[in-house]
Chains A and B, each alone.
Chain A
Amino acid sequence: MSEPDDARRPDEPAVALDEVVAVLGGFPVLAGATLRVDRGEIVLLRGPNGAGKTSLLRLCAGLLPVERGSGSIFGLDLATRRDAIRPRVGLLGHRNGLYDDLSVEENVSFWGATVDAAADEVDGAMARMGVDGRLGDVPVRKLSAGQKRRTALACLVARRAELWLLDEPHAGLDASGRDELDAVLRQAVGSGATVIVASHELERAGSLADRIVDVQGGQVTAGSEGSGA
């Protein structure tokens, strides 16, 4: 019998990892990570390069199998329900997942159409990220790094991602782009999304986050309140 949908279990946390071990190329990238993220939180993952931040995000996106321990996203088991988890999760890594030859609107429409989003949902997503109007017709290859980032975020909104996993989201953005991104993330959380950010830019990301989590050697080592709390 299949696991009940979490719509009937709204108290389940967005992310619940218990002593999770994940291996990549024979190397344990996560070595007993334990983490709980409640719905509607913004959590910053902090740690040096190679600490396991990106692996933690990829595990939450269902891209990395759980070798040992247990984990769930919105109450759905990461070991057995990855197919059900993925449509609810949006991972934005170093790359944007956009098609250069298509316009902004065509990209957002494509990703929206994968979940059968209506045209007004697509328009709304573009407007929220400030890539509507004349910018909508511009091919992605002609956009600045910040505009591409905002287009990628509009795609996440259009496909109704509930858990946003962002790896260095401020990278490549100018000061105003960073401010816009922060506003967008706060707005997303206000609309019910949960956000986990991995960033080296502690001052900026820390001011955004409700909670800061330290990642070291593939483990979650400590946590503290962020100034966004």
Chain B
Amino acid sequence: MIPRAVPRRLVRPVTLLRVAIILGVLAIWEGLAVSGLLYRDVVPRLPVIAAALWKLSVTPDTWWHFWVTGQEIGAGLIIGGLSGLAAGLVLGANRLLGRAFEAYLYYLGPTPKIIFLPVMIMWFGVGFGSKIAMAALSCFFPIALSTASGMRQIDKVLIRVGKSFRLNAWQMTTKIYLPAMRAPVVNGIRLGLGVALIGALLAETRLSSQGVGFLIINAYSVFDMPRMYAMLIVLFVLAIGANALIARLGGPNTNP
């Protein structure tokens, strides 16, 4: 799903249209907010959301919650990512193991991971542990599958070069395999980050007393809609930004 580049002759009209769409959506929103057609609190006025966004950004407590969620996602990504990378390398390097186990990863990968939350709570408790486990479980599958697929796409000449230099398994991994499959691995990490974020945040919305997910569900519980919109805006901007940043690291072959 790679959107094509905008042709040069269309750049100016496209920019104008984008600005027009954004302004149009904001105008409709503001119109709905002041019209009274919908509940005022469900669709708050834009200045109210902007004020909530400002208040959120100057409250140190907010950034502490972001820090908590960031730690959970980071730890999950390290655990799930390294396990996924190792599993992908093994499955990609060995044809028999790949054929025996990759189908399980392929079909288990897209199952809804949130249903494992009860199990993770029982295994790791209601605190940090279960959120990290949810993030790790979520990101393991895309990273393992991308790595295994990347291993199989490595140019055979590179592998023969490594073998002719008598590289050991560690040197083959660090000097040949990983550099040669940067794009698929980075793509896997990008996908993994997205699902790790969802895993950790959904777990926080379900059972937690800290983190961004907790803040969102807390704003819902006390019906503070401007704060909830502000949280969601910040979260979406950060998630889409992180996704684009990782895609850039992978070079031109990484799907955006």
Whether A and B are associated in the same complex: the answer reads no
Residues of B participating in the A interface, judged by any CB pair closer than 8 Å: none
